[in-house]
Amino acid sequence: MRCDVVAVGTELLLGQIIDSNSAWIGGELAAHGIDSLVQVKVGDNIDRIVLQLERRLAEADAVIMCGGLGPTHDDLTREAIARVMGVELELDEALGDVIRDMFASRGRRMPENNLRQAMVPAGASIIPQTRGTAPGLVCPVTVDGVEKVVFAVPGVPHEMHDMFHRGIIPELQRRSGERFTIASRVLLTWGESESGLNERLDDVIAELDEAGNPTLAFLASGWNGLKVRLTAKGADAVEAARILDPWEERLRAELGDLVFGTGDETIESVVLDLMRQKGWSIGCAESVTGGLVGGRITAVSGCSDVFRGSIVSYASEVKYDLLGVPEGPVVSEESALAMAHGARRVLGCDVALSLTGVAGPGTQDGQPAGTLFCGLVWPDGEATQYFRLPGLREQMRQFSVINSLNWLRTTLT
């Protein structure tokens, strides 16, 4: 069973609203073993909506249309579906009464255009609304002699989520006659390019291609790392996990320390967990990143049990006076190590990480843009590290965060 998605609304194309609904629908379809191969956004124009719906129906068994079910003139989803079905819209009187009663129960006058939401393509059935006024639709369509179905749901997320589970998933499963679960494992990596990861995994990828299940994909996530995703289809969650387990072990064996986490983890949450395992507190001294490391860490709920704080020592004088850095060039290994010692002393933490460098444009202390020096001090050791990072100013600063935290992880693991 294949079910594609058409999101309706000019506001989606203009970037005024982010299309989170399609992403949510895709995830839920996958969790129920239903393939979704194409997602489309289209503006409030009936001819273009009809065109996109016809294209999706030519390839998919089912289509979910999200949005365009409101009461105003630019809510055109019903009309588009009726045109594709080759039928007229009909007023569902019972549905009209439900909408009237909802307004009355709230002591409000119902504008007549709200009855547009009670117009239903002939032959369609409704998914009753429990949280708003616009019902969902289940619309049978015959394409080249093959029976297919179009679902229409409101664009308001909590209304759509409710209808999806009540009215769409059961119907899709009934039509498919099969139930599968699609499960994924995501390994988070840092320290290798996408092409480099691909090269490392050439043999594994060849075996996966031959097996066909699971599949592997690379997902670039900027300064949050590179994701390696395994996806398997099984009769249920237990079978999917049984398929994934040995392949995840293979990937970990091939990638080693490049893997820093899984799933929804982040490099900062992994570092915090490492500190908890060791019973250590951590603090930072930041120059080039201006507090980005501390900001990322404090975005993790519960970090206060191990994170002491971050000193943004941007001016050279602050490094000298507060952190005890010897006067002289501040973009150097010596300065980075002195900053870490100073942060450990001032913050009273077990582990201190420091970052000093040049984000650009231009140079500092004879060092070019992209230079990063890190210092690390822990109860029984100290270390420094040099990085030469690419990108413009903001890219360099963000890459400094993940490089420094990943270096801390690999050094203290």
CATH number for the domain that contains residue 302: 3.90.950.20
Is residue 361 reached through a cis peptide bond, with omega within 30 degrees of 0 on the bond before it? yes
pLDDT for residue 118 is more than 90: no
Which pair of tokens denotes residue 391? 């990108």
Q: 212, 230, 262 — which closes off a domain? A: 262
Q: 244, 262, 280 — which closes off a domain? A: 262
- Does residue 226 share a domain with residue 88? no
The CA distance from 93 to 98, in Å, is 9
236-271 pLDDT, tens digit per residue, is: 889 999 999 999 999 999 999 999 999 999 999 999
> What's the CA angle centered on 125, arms 34 and 69, to 5 degrees?
80
**Span 18-37, mean pLDDT?**
89
- Does residue 280 share a domain with residue 357? yes
E strand or H helix at 125? strand 125-127
- Does residue 113 share a domain with residue 19? yes
Which pair of tokens denotes residue 340? 């870490």
Q: What is the pLDDT of residue 190?
A: 97
- Does residue 283 share a domain with residue 408? yes
Q: Parallel, antiparallel, or unpaired for β 259-262 and 215-220? A: unpaired
The CA distance from 357 to 319, in Å, is 13
- Does residue 276 share a domain with residue 221? no
Find the distance separating the first CA and the last CA of the chain, reported in whole Å: 45
Query: How many Cα atoms occupy the beta-carbon half-sphere of 297 within 13 Å?
Result: 25
Q: 176, 194, 222 — which closes off a domain? A: 176
Q: Is 377 exposed, middle or buried (0-12, 13-18, 19+ CB in 10 A)?
A: buried
> What's the CA angle centered on 97, arms 93 and 103, to 5 degrees?
145
- Does residue 126 share a domain with residue 7? yes
* CB contact at 8 A, 381 and 319: no
- Does residue 300 share a domain with residue 198? no
> Computed from CA positions of residues 360, 363, 367, 373, in that sequence, does the dihedral angle turn out positive or negative?
negative
- Does residue 292 share a domain with residue 204? no
Say whether 403 sits in a helix, a strand or coil: helix
CATH number for the domain that contains residue 254: 3.30.70.2860
Strand order in the sheet with 62-66: 39-42, 3-8, 62-66, 146-153, 136-143, 125-127
CATH number for the domain that contains residue 136: 3.40.980.10
* CB contact at 8 A, 287 and 356: yes
The owner of tokens 């995501």 is 186
- Does residue 397 share a domain with residue 253? no
- Does residue 116 share a domain with residue 18? yes
The CA distance from 344 to 354, in Å, is 10
316-354 pLDDT, tens digit per residue, is: 999 999 999 999 999 999 999 999 999 999 999 999 999
Q: How many domains does the chain have?
A: 3
Residue ranges of alpha helices (H) inside 61-190 are: 77-85, 93-105, 157-163, 169-176
- Does residue 384 share a domain with residue 370? yes
> What's the CA angle centered on 158, arms 153 and 164, to 5 degrees?
45
Averaged pLDDT score across all residues of the chain? 93
**Span 168-184, mean pLDDT?**
86
**Span 160-178, mean pLDDT?**
91
Which pair of tokens denotes residue 268? 């900062």
Structural domain range at position 384: 267-412
267-316 pLDDT, tens digit per residue, is: 999 999 999 999 999 999 999 999 999 999 999 999 999 999 999 999 99
- Does residue 271 share a domain with residue 251? no
